[in-house]
Amino acid sequence: MVRIFISGAAAAAFAGMAAAQSQPATDGWALTLGTGALYSPSYEGDDDYSLKLLPNVQLKYGDRFFASVQEGAGYNLVKGERLRAGPIARIRFSRDDSGDQTFALSGGKTGDLRGLGDVDTSIELGGFVEYRLGGIKLNAELRQAVSGHDGLVADLGARWSGVWTELGPPLIWSAGPRLRLVDDQYTAAYFGVTPAQAIASGLPQYQAGGGVHSYGVGATVILPLSRDGAWSAVFLAGYDRLSGDAADAPLVQLRGDEDQATFGAFISYTFQ
């Protein structure tokens, strides 16, 4: 079975990329296909980084429906000039204790997770709300996993956006802070150590609880490569710091790092 794991910091940066993606306006279907490289921790909480070659696939129908691996699948039930809200589903791919990463070009194998067991692929279902204040967009999501980690996740954030033309071609930028809150089940799945896992992994037993999981900042820059906006290059960067019981976990303190950074570059084409 093909298995992929993208760290929390990388997923948040990816979401910023998808939300800010510059695409030609359309009332019908639009499909974006692309590829690029992502440099991020091998697993959430790791101090070693890997370079991954990843696809970028996005599907939209007007300004109602959107779907991609990065930002999940959602529908704008409420679609006003400032307010947007509706249901959303996201997928978090499995984390294997073997440490394998399918798309890693370098540094993809790690032995840090051996003995901690697999965390199966998680389907998270919930809702989102966004509110615009000029060039600022405030956003919040609440999602409950129905598989995998089985936990509750809340993401809060704000993003400033604009266009910079000092260098000639317009650079579409977006940046802002973000905060993630989780419950006990989420933290226990990824950072807890049961008595059996302690024996198998060599890490001390650890009971992890929920709360503030991480906080950070992300930025995205989009460079249109064609006049119609169909071709575009996307550059992203993000920094997140693990907090609470995730930061104090033996996996992070003994084998990883609380500081998590992500860098990426992608080229895409939009069909409509």
H or E stretch including 185? helix 184-191
Distance CA 132, CA 83 (A): 7
Residue 249 lies in a domain: yes
Which among 62, 102, 94, 59 has a CA at the least distance from the CA of 79? Answer: 62
Q: What does the DSSP assignment read for 91-138? A: EE--B-TT---TTEEES---STTTTS--B--EEEEEEEEEEEETTEEE
**12 vs 261: CA distance, rounded Å:** 11
pLDDT of residue 148: 96
Residues of the chain with pLDDT under 50: 1-5, 19-24
Domain housing 63: 8-271
The CATH number linked to 187 is 2.40.160.40
pLDDT digits (tens, 9 = 90+) for 178-237: 999 999 999 999 999 999 999 999 999 999 999 999 999 999 999 999 988 899 999 999
Report the DSSP pairing between strands 171-182 and 83-92: unpaired
- pLDDT value for 19: 46
Six-digit token string for 117 = 């067991």
The count of domains in the chain is 1
Decide if 234 is inside a domain: yes
In a domain, 165, yes or no: yes
How confident is the model at residue 109, as a pLDDT?
Answer: 72
pLDDT of residue 3: 41
Does the residue 2 lie in any domain? Answer: no
**pLDDT confidence of residue 165:** 84
Using CB atoms within 10 A of its CB, is residue 213 exposed (0-12), middle (13-18) or buried (19+)? buried
Report pLDDT for 104.
66
DSSP 136-149: EEEEEEEEEESSTT
1 in a structural domain: no
pLDDT for 251 equals 98
pLDDT given for residue 241 in this prediction: 98
The reported pLDDT for the residue numbered 78 is: 97
Nearest to 267 by CA among 240, 232, 237, 219: 232
Between CA 201 and CA 198 the distance in angstroms is 5
Q: Which residues contact 151 (CB under 8 A, 6 or more apart)?
A: 144, 145, 182, 183, 184, 185, 186, 187, 188, 189, 210
Per-residue pLDDT, 71: 85
pLDDT of residue 4: 45
